[in-house]
Structure 1
């Protein structure tokens, strides 16, 4: 499957979805291997943590409620206080382990899927061993980009929280609840839009870190410039994936964490949620890679340099890259 640049740059929302789906089905063997080896553990970790964290939070709330009804300075109070502390420590440790595992498997999954798409668009033979061989070459760049991404999201969330608190205090002092509610709603909409936009930039920065010799902040700025002209389409695809992911997590929590329905029904729903998240995660990685090539084609950037970079991983010739620069 090799597309000319004129054809790639014209792909829109449905075109990218169709292209991503076609790639997955055409090379189903290699994507099945990647899914079983890397995407499956990642999806399992995400769903398992949601149940573990819910259990620990409920346990903390239960122990804290019992602690509030016991007088201080007696053996039972001290025992409950120790339980609450232990529960909080368990939650913190499980959260740290979760993010470390997610980071590791995200790096592995992104590296292999992005490189596979690059091989598809450069008409190279693809094997699981060859795809896995790219990981030692790119994992450091991708890890740095992901760490910067976590920091960027953290700073963004903190800044939004501080802004909302300041606005709340100002309007609380002015005794204007209607204005405060309106402003809060507007800030929420802006926050959600900004978060999706940042997510699009960070996702593309990860692809750039695999295919180009840049990472971190530099990859983010490159992503911000590259996404211009295809921002709306990229945001729409990101929103589609986010809605699908949130719906899956919600259904999983309802069926498993809250214990609704029979055991057989809850287990069946949990399996369906897991399988759907598995496919959604793979599709998201493929779509991000396709968006990269669409944006490169849209800006008429020469992708021959990509072949020279890939030559460090497996032998590729510049002539193999069909997406040539177009003079406009």
Structure 2
């Protein structure tokens, strides 16, 4: 039995958003409206939905991941106790088959139809805690500062071989900037540690995940942010698939027999972090080191083995979270 009778599709842009409402599954008679993307606009949306008879208990609201532009809408709709489904745009697009034409109204209608057709698979959005939200913003800022600092240093080094005089002048004026960025990065690290320490549940999850050999602070924090404290992806295969470390079969009939490969659709940032964890594990974890050496001697491709190690690390982390304990290194017989 379906829980929802009405379906709202929202197409978000910077200044406004389009909303298309399907009442009682009548997709032939969609109702469209447009609202300002601010607090007043979302409150007006709520009033409009009530006027149409779409109560929060019977309405499924669906919108795409749009980063910062959708935050206000999500915040207020959750405050109004609507069931909210935040879906990948690519999944919505591919579910529609061949489409012609595009505008904001049509996009909102397609999202509403997608929600109606796939309501059984709907994942109701759970807002991250304020602490996780703060960590996510700090991690994003940290990444930008690291890239800026690396870019300044790299440009200076490249210029040194071409024009030492200009390079010296550049170093002079960017010295304080680099120093300031370094100081800011240290302050961010301290603040992240403070956030972890102050939140009891977060501190517990953090200590469990980081106890896995090869896993460091940055990877652990990314995992916490991307999985919403391991509530979105709690099963190891789900998380491994999301991180792009699960190989998939690619065969068809008798003629096509390709080697299993990981899919390109993945969280690239998390995949990169897990790759660094795997390299650390095969160098410092005796069990992984022996596994890597054995598989390579059997003739396995090194990158394939590294990917297997990434997968094992994900399984170890999820097992620690599931069993509510830190990782215990196996003692050799």
Q: Smaller-chain TM-score range? A: under 0.3
TM-score (norm 2): 0.27
Give the structure with the larger strand fraction.
2
TM-score (norm 1): 0.28
Give the structure with the larger helix fraction.
1
Larger Rg: 2
